[in-house]
Amino acid sequence: MRSSELQYWLNSIFQVKRNSILILVPGGGEFADSIRKIQNNSNFNDEIAHKLALLAMAQYGYFLTSINSNIKIIRNINNLSVKKDSYNSYLWLPDSLLDDSLEIPKTWDITSDSISLWLATKLFAKKLIIIKSKKITLNKSKITEHGQSNDLDKGFASMHEKYQGDLFCLHKSEYNKLESILSEK
**CATH value at residue 75:** 3.40.1160.10
Examine residue 66 and state whether it is found in any structural domain, yes or no: yes
Is residue 1 included in any domain, yes or no?
A: no
Residue 47 lies in a domain: yes
Average pLDDT estimate for 34-55: 94
Cα separation, 44 vs 126, whole angstroms: 38
C-alpha span between 38 and 34 (Å, rounded) = 6
CB 91 within 8 A of CB 19: no
Region 1-13: what's the mean pLDDT? Answer: 92
Contacts of 184 (CB under 8 A, 6+ apart): 127
- Confidence category of residue 117, pLDDT binned at 50, 70, 90: very high
According to DSSP H, which parts of 44-111 are helical? Answer: 46-65
The total domain count for the chain is 1
Half-sphere exposure of 185 (CA within 13 A, CB side): 0
pLDDT band at residue 78, thresholds of 50, 70 and 90? Answer: confident
Q: How confident is the model at residue 101 (pLDDT cuts 50, 70, 90)?
A: low
87: in domain: yes
* Mean pLDDT lowest among 54-58, 64-68, 88-92, 181-185: 181-185
Residue numbers of the domain that contains 165: 6-183
* 84 pLDDT above the threshold of 70: no
